[in-house]
Amino acid sequence: MNDKIKDWLMDSHPLLKYRVASDFGYDGNLSDLKKEALEDPVIKELISDLEKWPGHVLKRHNDAKHFIHKLSFLADMDFTIENKDINDISKRVMEHKSDEEVYQIKMNIPVVFGGTGKDQYSWMLCDAPLLIYSLKKTGIPFNQLRNGIEYLSNLTVEDGYPCAVSPELGRFNGPGKRGTPCPYANLLMAKMFSLFPEKHKETNVGKAVEFLLSHWKERKKHYLFGIGTDFQKLKYPFVWYDILHFADILSHYNHIKNDLRFIDIIETIKKKADPEGLYKAESVWMAWKILDSGQKKEPSRWITYNVYRILKRVYTN
């Protein structure tokens, strides 16, 4: 990232200014920027919402307004349980834990899909890893997460992670063949394990990473997830199965940096830069328009920041 791009990114609201300074260097007092970021309307709104955890019942995992995605975004902004509000939110999240010691959210699975049709606390592999990821990022000690992590880790099938769910959800299964890998489940398991470099070469973790790389190369559709035009649109925040989320997670795995499939993912993203080295949002989550006003016509500071953060990991680690 050149100085001109960095200055453009820093000329933003306090939250992004703090993130850019934290990731790309800053001559001033970073603590002061962090304090200002806590007063940013984005963060104040998130904290206000998350104080009402668990929020509305989850009915689909790509609901960008759902609290699991708000919690994940908050955790990625580097605010931890040292802050009383975030500590209180983390405690609320941890109030509901299954017999498998996996943290739960409130959901409702219709009877026609194999559920109970009632609101209940439960978990699926397309939400549980994201909760653990968020809790770890906010500073919850590993020993409080260990058993749940180990339980989820052992849910693999031959080629990755399937659509696994809590026992009380019965025979619920996503829109794919039972016992076969689900792309989004593998993405979130790789996301969770991205925080634990010492586990990156373990067999089960390797299955998730390999599934993602193979999916990119083969372009086959699994559980309705494909690697097509929509997948390759730059989009933020990280809510669903798309190229920027994909690359962000995989960029934490140093041992695949020279894998030709990973290199192809990165090159695909880099080609989207304009002549100034800036990136536009190619799709937007309107629930998050407070970030970049939900626009696609002009370069996006948040998209540009995230691309350069990924490139920094790829080329400097």
Tens-digit pLDDT profile for residues 218-243: 988 888 899 999 999 999 999 999 99
Whether residue 245 is contained in a domain is answered as: no
Whether residue 118 is contained in a domain is answered as: yes
24-33, 187-196, 270-279, range with the lowest pLDDT: 24-33
CB 40 within 8 A of CB 79: no
Whether residue 172 is contained in a domain is answered as: yes
- CA separation for the pair 179, 195 (Å, rounded): 26
* Residue range(s) defining the domain that contains residue 143: 53-199
Whether residue 24 is contained in a domain is answered as: no
- CA separation for the pair 114, 78 (Å, rounded): 38
pLDDT above 90: residue 48: yes
Whether residue 307 is contained in a domain is answered as: no
Which helix (H) or strand (E) element contains residue 20? Answer: helix 14-24
- CA separation for the pair 166, 121 (Å, rounded): 10
- CA separation for the pair 317, 311 (Å, rounded): 10
Whether residue 127 is contained in a domain is answered as: yes
pLDDT above 90: residue 80: yes
Whether residue 219 is contained in a domain is answered as: no
CB 54 within 8 A of CB 105: yes
- CA separation for the pair 251, 120 (Å, rounded): 35
Strands (E) in the chain, as ranges, are: 105-107, 120-122
Tens-digit pLDDT profile for residues 129-178: 999 999 999 999 999 999 999 999 999 998 999 988 888 777 777 776 77
Tally of domains in the chain: 1
Whether residue 274 is contained in a domain is answered as: no
- CA separation for the pair 243, 230 (Å, rounded): 9
Q: What is the per-residue pLDDT for 317?
A: 62
Confidence of residue 316 (pLDDT cuts 50, 70, 90): confident
Task: Judge if pTM exceeds 0.85.
Answer: yes
